Amino acid sequence: MKLSSSRRLKNRIATTLFSACALSGVVLFAVLFFAVVGKGIGALSFDFLSKGMEQAGASGGILMNLLGTAILLVTAAIVAVPISTALAFLVRYFRKRDKLSGALEMLLYILNGVPSILLGIMGFILFVRDLEMGKSWLTGGVLLGMMIVPTITVVLIERISAIPSAYIESARGLGMNKAQVAWTVVLPRCWSSILTGLLLGLARAAGETAPILFTATVFSGAGLPEGIKNSPVLTLPYHIFVLAQDSLESASGNLWGAALVLLLLVFAMSMLVLPIRLKTHDESRHA
């Protein structure tokens, strides 16, 4: 059936608007990316990546900041993956589509939009003040982990929903109970989605400053953690934040170098998602 001229015109206008929005986003990202690359590439060197900060960031490198960021991200992953997996299976496998699962799924979308500064305030009140832990890498890792739980859970829910019911019914026909089917049939087909959600979440968490500002990080004077209480770490986002706030000309090279490293780290994690996502899509299509 042929479309009327007015509908064709509306389609063209809508297509043009959506294309313009998409193109503007790509152009803006490209401008920002190459601006950071252009200003930060000169600071990158082996010494910059393998030495600690000196002279309040005016010289030296970002090794301890990289290690501190890695510690927080690994801790966040350890916290988030089990919780996200349990939530996803509860919402989409064990409870399926009852009122509780619907409420939990809605709550996940709400939590995904909560400003990260609120997590930082909650962590400060609970861990730093009430539990008297002081600034601690564990607090920062837990807060970042809670922040990325909705991202991982939503991706995993989509994957569980895409698993053919014939697989589950066949396993149940062999005498397996729900827990056995979840562990031996469903979970093995979800690892790629868990990794996808984790990478997306960590890419977001890597650049966050608000949740760790008063709970986990300092600008200088910290090394590798030796305990749980009063054990802050140096991190890339806070390092960049302080250098940008101070606006010292002598530290501008290191500022842009650190920004470039963080940008490349986030970009790499985001790009790793693409082949994993495509593989998962192909598996779902041929299942």
pLDDT at 284: 60
CA distances 66 to 4, 6, 181, 206, 286, Å, are: 59, 57, 41, 10, 41
> What is the reported pTM?
0.87
Low-confidence ranges of the chain (pLDDT < 50): 1
Per-residue pLDDT tens over the stretch 100-129: 777 888 888 888 888 889 989 999 999 998
Q: Which of 199, 219, 211 is nearest to 271 (CA)?
A: 199
Total Cβ atoms within 10 A of residue 265: 19
pLDDT at 74: 96
User: Where are the extended beta strands (E) located within 44-153?
Assistant: 53-54, 59-60
pLDDT at 12: 86
Contact predicate 215/120, CB 8 Å: yes
Which domains, from first to last, does the chain contain?
Answer: 44-286 (1.10.3720.10)
pLDDT at 76: 96
